[in-house]
Structure formats: structure tokens, C-alpha cells
Amino acid sequence: MRRAVLAVVAGAVLAAAPPAGAQALDPGQPGPYVVDVRGVLTGLPSAFIVFPLVPVDAVAPSGGLGIAVGMHVYPLQLGPARIGIGASLVHARGRAAPVVVADDGVDPEPGTEIRTRMTLVEPEISLNFGTGDGWSYLSAGAGWGVLRAALDGSEPLTAESGWGPMLNYGGGARWFLNARLAVGFDVRAHQFQGRPLFGGSTQFPRTTLMTASVGLSLR
């Protein structure tokens, strides 16, 4: 997963470098607002303790793909940084189907398929460094998230974390190709907080997932 994240970030930096003539004579400060649409590569929890209702002989996906949309405004200056306020919505899913060897030991049979979905609602505050032609940022916030795992088959069973509090922190950058359109990337950690489930008999563990996203920004 770490190698995949580094590859995505490196590709985004190379692809996003603007042409030499694209810079404005007076680019101004970052902002005044942006709308982001990005593809997401994410890690997903595969440990049995995260979804205690999923059979132990099933295999959960360790990663998935999704989409993130967000909007940010930049109202204030703080020293060299521009303050940004915004929120993002992330939805991703992954699937895993183990192969089980048949009784005769020759022909493989499909195992139980698990599909995991993750939905995040993430307000955040950012520190942005650069100009209106492009800027990098560090950001953090507190929001809500939910994880769900579903079994395919004649008797589908769903286990979910329930909506609960989570923290997010990370950073990224945007490069504007013209006055309206930018390309950019974001690398972020999402920390689900531990909490009791099923009437307090089970504890959903604190879980941290990493995402890397690449896409477009409009202003």
C-alpha cells in the first residue's frame, strides 16, 4: 500500500507540472475557492476484529478505489500561510474473493466474497503556501465515517462499524493549468475512533486508514 501511495503521488507531481507560460503575472493569494473531484486509492481494514460478524474463513479486501468531492474557501491570511476552510465527502469500495481448493484437491472453487464500503464526511482546516497559480497545503479536521462489510451468497450478512467520530490529517498540492482548472493530489490518514458496539459487548477498535487521491480542481 505504501509503494502504491508513493507511486500515485509521484505520478501526480510529474503530470501536474504546468507549462512555462501558464503562470499569471500577478497570481495573488491561494483561492478564493476551489471545488475538487478526485479518484481515490485507499486502504481498507481486513482484520477480523474490525468486523466480528464476518466469518473467520472469509477474506476481506485490504484496499479499494473510490471518489472524493470537496469544496474549500480561503478567507484569511496568517503570516505566510492562507487559511482554508472546507469539507470533503469520500466514498470507496473494495472486494476480495478467496479461492478454496475443492475436496478432490484439483479443481478450485470460489470462496466467500466480501465487499467493503467506506464513507467519510470530513470538515477540515488547512494552511496553504504558495500563490494563486498553485499551492501546497497541510490540513486536519474531525468528522464522521462508517465502514460496512457484506457477504455475497444465498445468506448475505452485513457487519458495519456504524457512523462514528474520526480524525483526518494530511497534505497535498494543486497546480493551475489556466485561470480555472488545476490538477492536484492529496495524501491523508483517516483515524476511526474506538467505540462500543452491539450494546457494549464488542469494541470497535481504533483504526487508521491511508488514502491517496489524484484529480481536478475548479475555481
Q: What is the mean pLDDT of residues 51-68?
A: 78
Q: Is the model more confident about 58 or about 201?
A: 58
Residue 219 has pLDDT above 50, yes or no: yes
Residue 52 has pLDDT above 90, yes or no: no
pLDDT value of residue 16:
41
Cis peptide before 18 (omega within 30 of 0): no
Q: What is the pLDDT of residues 5-25, one digit of tens each?
A: 445 444 444 444 444 444 446
Q: In angstroms, rounded to a whole number, what is the distance separating the alpha carbons of residues 116 and 113?
A: 10
Q: What is the mean pLDDT of residues 21-48?
A: 82
pTM of the predicted structure, to 2 decimals: 0.77
Residue 97 banded pLDDT, cuts 50, 70, 90: confident
pLDDT value of residue 137:
97
Please choose, from the candidates 160, 159, 126, 166, the residue with its C-alpha nearest in 3D space to the C-alpha of residue 143. Answer: 166
By percentage, how much of the chain surpasses pLDDT 70?
Answer: 68
pLDDT value of residue 192:
86
211 within 8 A of 40, measured Cβ to Cβ: yes
Q: In angstroms, rounded to a whole number, what is the distance separating the alpha carbons of residues 180 and 182?
A: 7
By percentage, how much of the chain surpasses pLDDT 90?
Answer: 50
Please give the CATH topology (third level) of the domain spanning 2-16+34-100+108-210.
Porin (2.40.160)
Residue 187 has pLDDT above 90, yes or no: yes
pLDDT value of residue 24:
46
* 5, containing H or E segment: helix 2-16
What are phi and psi for residue 199, nearest 5 degrees?
A: 70, 20
